[in-house]
Structure 1
Amino acid sequence: MSIDFEERARLEARLLSRASARRPARIPALERTGGVQRFPASPSQEGMYAEVLAEPELASIILGGIRLRGHLDVAALERALTALVARHETLRTVFEAGQAGLSQVVLPPGPGRIPVQDVELADFPALTWAEVDTPVDLERGPLFRLRLLRLAEDDHIAMLLIHHIIGDARALEVFVRDLVIGYLAARSGGEAGLPPLPVQYADFATWYRRHLAGPRGDQLLGYWTERLAGAEPARIPTDLTPTEHSISGHTAYFPIPPELLAKVTETARTHRVTLFMLGCAAFMVQLARYSGQRDISVRAPISYRDRLEVEDLIADFSNDIVFRQDLSADPTFTQLLAQVREAATSDFAHHDLPPHLLADELGDPGLLARLFHVQFTTESEPDVDLPTGDLAVELMPPPWQYAFRPLAVRIRTRGRQAVLVMTYRTALFSPERIADLAADYLDLLAELIAGQDLPVFDGRRRGRVS
């Protein structure tokens, strides 16, 4: 049986392209005059910049690690990085706040430098934490850091950090792909041969501001204020009482049994829903059973690279929406999946409103942040099947020691395997509690699939969650 874990991404792309069909065919490119360039920041960047100023400890970053075994030509890698920074304006962007608002300042290209440090493999977690704890200066830059940890002459870990204001998960993939292509070209003395980028992020940002300033912005505000009227934050089943505010966290991984994964995939295909829709529906049922709530809201990150011009940019094209479901009618799982599919279709079609523009419209300061306290998403591990010459490449995700929200649940897929990933604040949850939540969730998935025509709160069900 074929398992398609990219169905959610394809569905989102189809939904987003419907709105795109009415937009201009191309994003116009702004004039460049050489030297330092100043452009208006995007609305999304304005929101993130304000968040960093208000809560610098929550500064969001994208972190990746790749292990490289074999002969590594560091000089060639630095030449590849130099070409990469010249190609992508975001990698030489800083921010400047002024009376006219926030500007993204694009600096001229310069040489790429990659520090190399001799380490032991056991040092990797501590070095990662130190890297994350080193602030990124949004006004001075750089907004990314690439360093090599040398385990041996023929064994390195490349650790990459990108501030979320200029990157998302896809940006990490583009960075690695373009760097590897440039590295192979630098070693052979040739050119990378990458096609010219049709636009840079500053071009998109200017277009996006005009997009939101028109009727679309009013439409989006109207949609989300109505959609979230009366919404309440999900109550989460913590088992610890914190003595002080802390974002210290841990990430736990729980394999999803292959037989359950096969049933989930088949059920999703039967009901014409994505893995995200089915997984989130079950997660909402779990939250409802624990808390007694029937109106459940969770944060759902969404990617909106829905235009060809931006597909290969290193930039942030992610957004957050509140995914809300009313379970008060005690639907069957079949009915709930249809309900979720309809809601997702509508919500994804209204994805393009930065959250900070909505927050002030809800009439309750801090409500949107509280609605974002619980997150659910699905993701696939990035593809590293790239031509790397005589280097063997292996993904090596750096360990993470923070939780930017109390609880974030992900189903992560790789080929025909999947794992349940739970990132949580250690001041709120014990490891035992998280293990129980994971076991309950996997049991609930099996239970709901086995009894798709039973109401989700029916007493005849035999799940662990009550």
Structure 2
Amino acid sequence: MSTGTGRPPTLERRETGEAPLSSAQEGLWFIHRAQPRSTAYHVPLVLPCPEPLDLPALRRAVDTLVARHDILRTRFPVRDGAPVQVVDASTTVTVAATDLSGAPDATERAHREARERAAEPFLLDRQPPLRVALWQGLPDGDLLLVCLHHIAVDGWSLALLFDELWSVYDAVLTGSEPELPEVELQYTDFARWERAVHATPEHRERVAARAERLRGLPTRLRLGAPAALRDRPGGGPVEDPGDAGEELGFELDAELADRVRQRAREARITPYLLLLTVFQETVRRWSGEQRFLLGTILVNRPDPRLDRTAGFFVNTVPLRCDNRPGRTVTEAWGDMRAEFRDLLRHADVTLGQLATALGAADRTSSPLVQVGFVMLNTSPRVGGRELPVSSLALPTQAAALDLTVVVEDSGGRFTGTLGHATAHYDRATAEGVRDTFLGLLGAALDAPDAVLARLRVPGARPAGPARPPIDLVADHRRRTAPTAGK
């Protein structure tokens, strides 16, 4: 890659101050501006603490993190009509403490207040994207809330921040100095560098190449036909990113998780790609479409020095899904591996850039993807214990996409949630999609040489207003289904 001067952009430390937003941040900023009260991009984690926390030590630990990571003391005001990020020289994030000792409903009240505090809007132009609260004196110990806005963190950052928080907390209690490695680069350094890269001709060529590969695929994906979608003119995308949402949980037992890992090794793919392939087939059955786009995320930390940097380093990307009739389960896994390799070659091409290239730009919602699949494999460590994010996260009651499946690989098991916008899909439809996904997974693991589209899923039958999954084995003759990307 080269700049206009012929030299590659250099990722280096710059003085703290005002900087542009990264592309990923900019997308969230526009959504926040359009729906400032939405909780869809809040990241609220609650931690029950059996042992009472030392409040002064906790405050010292939070102060240390805020001083250490610029993103935790960053505001996002508007300059000359465009958003910028401004790092304040110093910021104190208050740890709000409430003592409920002796209160008859202490536990219930603490959890209710934690939900309320987590749902409070972030004033991103005036306040840091972090709030911390502690409820003390509960019968079973203390309750800690750490709530961030997604514009400041990704999954990797959550694990990093929790690990550092407890390292500093323990050091303060023992009167020792915390041993934390230096943060060599801050998020603003990455944002400036990324903007320089995106200005290069080489990057523009990658955008054009990826857009051409996606051109012609439907940009609207419906699963079933719930009444809410039928009544919406044109079946358009979620107009309100803060639309009410619900979540359904599921878990793969230890035996099934082991079988996923074993089959993945045999197919020379990751468990993520194996599960994504099964979800792609689930979407095919529920949508009746052979070719469509699914959203997923890629981590974009292009320099090892960024491993100790907190920030929003993920890129939402559209994955091209072509379902060849007659392919076996194993062949489908191979197709997914090939498509994902192409996607990785364009990992820094953003959803907004693709939307613009395809003539479908929209700052407040994504016209390219409405259904997503994400896998998390970095879990926060608290007191030396690795805890799944799903065990700490408060439901936000808001949906960023129409429907998203998030699977977390933690502690040797797979736990998942299926979140859906209630304006688009009712609970019965969501349950049907979930059950089809889990049923197909078991069937695919049992018969990797079988034709994927012909696998039967016993008992997976949707209820409610949605039409059932469509069997395209007989229907594919009247459809065009090009071979998936090789």
Q: What is the TM-score of this pair, normalised by structure 1?
A: 0.85
- Say whether residues 1:68 and 2:49 are aligned partners: yes
> In the alignment, is the contact (CA less than 8 A) between 2:156 and 2:378 conserved in 1?
no
Q: Deviation of residue 221 (structure 1)?
A: 1.1
- Say whether residues 1:304 and 2:304 are aligned partners: no
| Helix, strand or coil at the partner of 1:29 | coil
Q: Which amino acid aligns with 1:63?
A: P
Encode CA deviations 1:184-220: one digit per residue, 9 max, x unaligned: 2222333212122111111111111111111332133
Q: Deviation of residue 349 (structure 1)?
A: 2.5
Give the aligned partner of residue 327 of structure 2. Answer: 331
Give the aligned partner of residue 43 of structure 1. Answer: 23
> In the alignment, is the contact (CA less than 8 A) between 1:93 and 1:143 conserved in 2?
yes
Pairing of 1:202-241 with structure 2 (within 5 A): 202-232=188-218, 233-237=220-224, 239-241=226-228
Encode CA deviations 1:240-281: one digit per residue, 9 max, x unaligned: 527787711111112224333232221111001111211111
Distance 2:161 2:20 in 1: 24
Encode CA deviations 1:147-167: one digit per residue, 9 max, x unaligned: 112252871121111111111
Give the aligned partner of residue 380 of structure 1. Answer: 377
Distance 1:89 1:215 in 2: 31
Q: Which amino acid aligns with 1:371?
A: L
> In the alignment, is the contact (CA less than 8 A) between 1:40 and 1:206 conserved in 2?
yes
Q: Deviation of residue 451 (structure 1)?
A: 2.6
Distance 2:382 2:149 in 1: 25
Give the aligned partner of residue 63 of structure 2. Answer: 82
Give the aligned partner of residue 134 of structure 1. Answer: 120
Q: Which amino acid aligns with 1:410?
A: V
Structure 1 regions of 5+ residues with no counterpart? Answer: 1-22, 389-393
* Change beyond 3 A, Cα 1:336–1:113: same
Q: Which amino acid aligns with 2:420?
A: Y
* Change beyond 3 A, Cα 1:100–1:374: closer
- Say whether residues 1:28 and 2:12 are aligned partners: yes
Q: Which amino acid aligns with 1:452?
A: P
Q: Which amino acid aligns with 2:427?
A: P
> In the alignment, is the contact (CA less than 8 A) between 1:420 and 1:438 conserved in 2?
no
> In the alignment, is the contact (CA less than 8 A) between 1:238 and 1:428 conserved in 2?
no
- Say whether residues 1:364 and 2:345 are aligned partners: no
| Helix, strand or coil at the partner of 1:398 | coil
| Helix, strand or coil at the partner of 2:77 | strand
> In the alignment, is the contact (CA less than 8 A) between 1:300 and 1:320 conserved in 2?
yes
Structure 2 regions of 5+ residues with no counterpart? Answer: 1-6, 101-105, 233-238, 461-468, 472-486
Pairing of 1:228-267 with structure 2 (within 5 A): 228-232=214-218, 233-237=220-224, 239-241=226-228, 247-267=243-263
Give the aligned partner of residue 16 of structure 1. Answer: none
Pairing of 1:144-183 with structure 2 (within 5 A): 144-152=130-138, 155-183=141-169
> In the alignment, is the contact (CA less than 8 A) between 2:251 and 2:415 conserved in 1?
yes
- Say whether residues 1:284 and 2:284 are aligned partners: no
Distance 2:140 2:67 in 1: 29
> In the alignment, is the contact (CA less than 8 A) between 1:297 and 1:371 conserved in 2?
yes
- Say whether residues 1:422 and 2:418 are aligned partners: yes
Distance 1:137 1:385 in 2: 28
Give the aligned partner of residue 56 of structure 1. Answer: 36
Distance 2:109 2:221 in 1: 38
Distance 2:411 2:126 in 1: 41
* Change beyond 3 A, Cα 1:268–1:187: same
| Helix, strand or coil at the partner of 1:279 | helix
* Change beyond 3 A, Cα 1:121–1:104: same
Deviates more, 1:320-329 or 1:45-54: 45-54
Distance 1:286 1:109 in 2: 49
Q: Which amino acid aligns with 2:196?
A: R
Encode CA deviations 1:13-67: one digit per residue, 9 max, x unaligned: xxxxxxxxxx9797211135xxxx2223323333322222223344622221212
User: Alignment length, in residue pairs?
Assistant: 434
Encode CA deviations 1:207-237: one digit per residue, 9 max, x unaligned: 1111111133213311221121012132212
| Helix, strand or coil at the partner of 2:246 | strand
| Helix, strand or coil at the partner of 2:86 | strand
- Say whether residues 1:397 and 2:393 are aligned partners: yes
| Helix, strand or coil at the partner of 2:132 | strand
Q: What is the TM-score of this pair, normalised by structure 2?
A: 0.82
> In the alignment, is the contact (CA less than 8 A) between 1:234 and 1:371 conserved in 2?
no
Q: Which amino acid aligns with 2:434?
A: A
Give the aligned partner of residue 5 of structure 1. Answer: none
* Change beyond 3 A, Cα 1:100–1:462: closer
Q: Deviation of residue 413 (structure 1)?
A: 2.7
| Helix, strand or coil at the partner of 2:125 | coil
Q: Deviation of residue 146 (structure 1)?
A: 0.9
> In the alignment, is the contact (CA less than 8 A) between 1:164 and 1:316 conserved in 2?
yes
Q: Which amino acid aligns with 1:123?
A: R
Q: Which amino acid aligns with 1:414?
A: S
